[in-house]
Copies of this chain bind each other. A is one copy, B any other.
Amino acid sequence: MKLIKSILAAGGDARQLYCAERLAAHFDISVTGFSESAFPEGMSLKRLSAAGKSPFDCVILPIPALDGEGFVNTPLSQEKLPLETIRGLLAPGGIVFAGRVTEELRRAFPENPVIDYSVREELCLRNAVPTAEGAVQIALSELPVTLCGLPVLIIGLGRIGTALAGILRGFGAQVTAAVRSPVGRAKAAAMGIPAVSCGELPTDFGLVVNTAPELVLDREKLGKFGTSTLFIDLASKPGGIDMEAAAELGLKVIWALGLPGRCAPVTAGYIAADTIAGIIEERGEA
């Protein structure tokens, strides 16, 4: 099997730059899809130039890979980056690493392996940490009380909920978990955390963090909370909190998406780099 030597990191936010920087220790890496002002001071990454370009063994697209119009997702550049451009830069059979891969994306690279590194367990596990830390940052900023001693409800004990519970315990918060299954209940029991059912939520919490990817806090449930409770929703669209109802009820809800890239871009970039390097090694191409 052919070894991977040259990599093109195309598009994405600051995470992608740190990802490229970390991979640069082992690969010949170039980047494209960034305006010059996007590069942090002192970072020396090879920019892709029209002249010197050569086919790459591999391309890394960001998380998510595409913007709403089907171009590569390039929030740090003014220019559109079409998928055909990427295809033209890729060696025959070259690998496409991308986040949140869609059918559209796969169709654009019919003769290449398209690997969604954003669903890899090792990435999701590690990304739960900057997500949980970002939620804590929001809570610390918004709440006029300390987390120490605060009754907190965490909805869902998946990777993020578990990471969050561990951090909040270190603060001395009084954590309760809302769970939806026997396994969720067992996770709470194994952490020594009181568990409640999502169906019958108590409401005396100063902070409620939702991590469950489905509507848990509907209008009826929200109506039982007081306005001093802060709500943070970490779930992707459509989210777990009825935002319209919350607004009408005068509740404070913060819907926080993409925390790893916003709160800890270096760590998030390294996580992506390690995941991709691991996949390459696993495939015997390192």
Closest beta carbon of chain B to A118's beta carbon, Å:
14
Closest beta carbon of chain B to A283's beta carbon, Å:
12
* A128 closest partner in B (C-beta): B190
Residue-wise interface mask of A (170-211) relative to B, using a CB-CB cutoff of 8 A (1 in contact, 0 not): 111110000000110111011111000000000000000000
Q: Evaluate contact between B172 and A148: CB separation under 8 angstroms.
A: no
Q: Evaluate contact between B126 and A136: CB separation under 8 angstroms.
A: no
Closest beta carbon of chain B to A268's beta carbon, Å:
9
A147 CA to B140 CA in the complex, in Å? 15
Contacts of A93 in B (CB 8 A): none
Q: Evaluate contact between B133 and A148: CB separation under 8 angstroms.
A: yes
Residues of A82-128 at the interface with B, using a CB-CB cut-off of 8 Å, are 121-123, 125-126, 128
Q: Evaluate contact between B130 and A146: CB separation under 8 angstroms.
A: yes
A171 CA to B164 CA in the complex, in Å? 9
| Pick from B14, B137, B148, B168: contact of A190, CB under 8 Å | B148
A146-B130, A146-B133, A266-B144 are known contacts. Are A172 and B187 too (CB-CB below 8 A)?
Answer: no
A2 CA to B166 CA in the complex, in Å? 42
- Indicate the size class of the contact surface on chain A: 35 or more
Closest beta carbon of chain B to A32's beta carbon, Å:
22
A143 CA to B265 CA in the complex, in Å? 9
Residues of A261-279 at the interface with B, using a CB-CB cut-off of 8 Å, are 263-267, 274-275, 278
Beyond A122-B183, A163-B190, A182-B275, 18 additional contacts (C-beta under 8 Å) are: A121-B183, A122-B186, A125-B186, A126-B190, A129-B190, A130-B146, A133-B148, A137-B137, A140-B263, A141-B141, A144-B267, A148-B189, A148-B190, A166-B191, A171-B192, A172-B190, A172-B192, A174-B192
Tell me the A residues contacting B by CB distance below 8 Å: 14, 121-123, 125-126, 128-130, 133-134, 136-137, 140-141, 143-149, 159, 163, 166-174, 182-183, 185-187, 189-193, 263-267, 274-275, 278, 282
